Structure 1
């Protein structure tokens, strides 16, 4: 397998997630270049920012469907990582950790690039709307016709407000965002249309516009719709003045950013959680430890006999064992007020903030052991598995998280019998 083969597989995975502006050959050339950079990042010869640059290149090539991220991240952490482990065994297990960092950079870069494109389109629409509105004051008949065409057909929301704070006009896109009929908006006060409790900072800024103390504003807000759903709205509003400088009316342009927010949330989740168990991953755990409130209790777990499970029943059964362990660990540790995470392989960790001491840690370890020793029914087999657990109690926040992790790992191995080591 070559980088070109990985690019072809990537192109197959992205099929249907791009507007037809590139031929298949051009797509494969583009993806081959990105695969080579991503592989270099996984090797460690360049930084993980290669993931961000790859995301920007895809968005620039019109790959803007949220599915792009969902199909690319598994390839980085899966096919590309395995390719390096096969072709360059010296990379070892560290390629897995690098793949998580590169995938996180890809997720961040993809979200930022999508936002940049959306904001550019919004600013262009606002500029066109303002130009049309100002032209309407100078050459009313011609410019009003142009403005009406932009106003009615725009995919972003556009509305105008008079100097008394009442809606003059609003297009269908704006009405859809608010969840009301477009015919219900003209002639009503803005606060009445969107609800006094929902207008918040936007109303204060609009008042400043009408008073002439500011010329424009932009903010992002959540709007609860009458049907119980919520819309994320990126709102820009400007004052339109006459030749004497007096405010004649306000014009606002709104972009529905609900999907972008949801995509950002999904990408953050994928970058910070283990794909198999759904538990927080190593990167997320380190971020939490960096801001954890002491005293901190840590319990490091290593499954006993897991290698034998894989050898006897295969990796599919082994993966199901890890899923069950993750679910039991999450339930037990969450009930104790802590955080459970998967470090990789068959290694897990539980963290308790504001830990009261060794007794609380011992109780948590016992509860985890009890939960894990319950037999697992997988397919037609009954599987039993245990865990070696080492605990560390930190009265102060760790200054070196790696050292705290190593101490917990060492404590675990002191509790692990030679017979159970895998």
Structure 2
């Protein structure tokens, strides 16, 4: 039995818009036309007044399982992804156990196969136990299914270790994905070192904590010829370093989170832990530099850094609570409302930052609508007005600074490999 999405609006990369029918069979797109005839057994999906896009891709997600199931599980995290229009997500390795050896990675992949409702690509760590001391066996982990390598959550402190990691990852054609943070410069901080840290009497994290490590690493990437990807860029200095590295022909790519585009340190009026993330919300000039960097291609795409925590953990004051906020279910609506609707970017640009660009950077066979492509799709209602309600999230995490924000635009159906995994107003898992 085939599925046919009828009369949905499709925007081409050149901005041309047309109404199309899309026919799906055996998990693939098999026909795209102005009108497609149907058989009695075909499943017809009404796409009228809805926009079709490739399923979103998020290369930076914390699913917490194994070991942190009180915060999130593969089931709840992938349901949150589906509700946000994401059909492929990449799971960070800060779990217990860490996927730093084949047995742990294989066990994780089995749970993903059995329980995930969207595509999940797991990272392996760069160092054993994320401790920054002993490198993992890159070749065996890549052969077992590691998407890429990262110690996200902590920076690699030794230049020698990072250079060796790049060399080994490059030998097996895998990228090194880096959380950039010099531990000697963190200053036990909880917010950006600036006006707000002074006003609230909090230790601040300086911008050079991030940018100096990126500067080191891009030179190591040049020396090794490896693909080096920078997580959640947050400072104007980091943008400048990455821009200069790209101009020099170094293989560096970068991502930015929605919250660093939407907020800055002045939005922290009280010591509210829902505004605590790492890297922290930076200054107004940093926020402007991030947007400029995204628009000019210095920053390649957007990734959420979805980081759920329990209510009890986040009920602590900002200096004691863990870093991180959730983002899968709010990303598209917030970005569409505050950038597309305000004409700071086009819908085409936003969709590219959420689909085509991450697919290109990481060489994924995703992020496109064409004959023979995987039927990973999202239907969008671009005019739907709604209010973000953290208590209605599919994610276990409720930690967001965007609760009760009014937004416009919403994913209303998500399809993965031809199966409907989310439909607004119904259970996340529909077709199995």
Q: TM-score, normalised by structure 2?
A: 0.21
Greater share of helix residues, 1 or 2? 1
* Structure with the greater alpha carbon radius of gyration: 1
